[in-house]
Amino acid sequence: MKTLLSVAVIFLSFPVAAQYYYKDIVSTKESNALVATYRNSNVQKVNMKSFTVNNTPLDDLSVQQVFSPETRSLLTITKTPYQPASYLVSFFDEEGRMIKATDSAAGNLSTMSYRYNTQGQLQSIFTQFGDPLAALKTDEHIWQYDTQSNISKMLRIK
């Protein structure tokens, strides 16, 4: 019974680890690459349109991105008639790596701070989130790498 429980815990932990890997590692790399594309192509503003499966435009969804190379920031504004507008402001360092992001959605505020190791790999993300009128919660993900630069471990501190 103990062995069965141990195996179940191991299998149940994989989806959680994959979720953090995607959210932290993959999406941060994608954001960094997007900003590099905007910077290299002199893009300052993007308006996005959404479509249904039948290729019908969704007029009630508005997403706009404004990139400022001077402040190394990307503002993403999302609007729908069903929710208050959401504002995500991301800041990048000289190498084009995200170092801070602030997201306001549905009256909540999230601030993420990103740190990188000397090899340029994501080392940690520290997040403060919740209702800004109450005590904010914190969550930190610390990523460790082996000698071949592969991720070996992720530590989550709540």
Pairing mode of beta strands 57-68, 73-80: antiparallel
pLDDT at 116: 98
User: What is the DSSP secondary-structure string of 99-144?
Assistant: EEEEEEETTEEEEEEEEE-TTS-EEEEEEEEE-TTSPPEEEEEEEE
What span, in angstroms and rounded, lies between the C-alpha atoms of 132 and 104? 10
User: What is the domain range of residue 115?
Assistant: 2-157
Query: 16 pLDDT band (50/70/90 cuts)?
Result: low
Q: Is 0.95 surpassed by the pTM of this model?
A: no
As a whole number of angstroms, the distance between CA 18 and CA 142 comes to 15
**Residues 64-102: tens digit of each pLDDT:** 999 999 999 999 999 998 888 999 999 999 999 999 999
Dihedral angle of Cα 140, 26, 23, 114, to the nearest 10 degrees? 30
Number of domains in the chain: 1
3-state secondary structure of 34: helix
pLDDT at 15: 52
Enter the DSSP assignment of 56.
-
**Rounded CA gap, 158 and 140, in Å?**
6
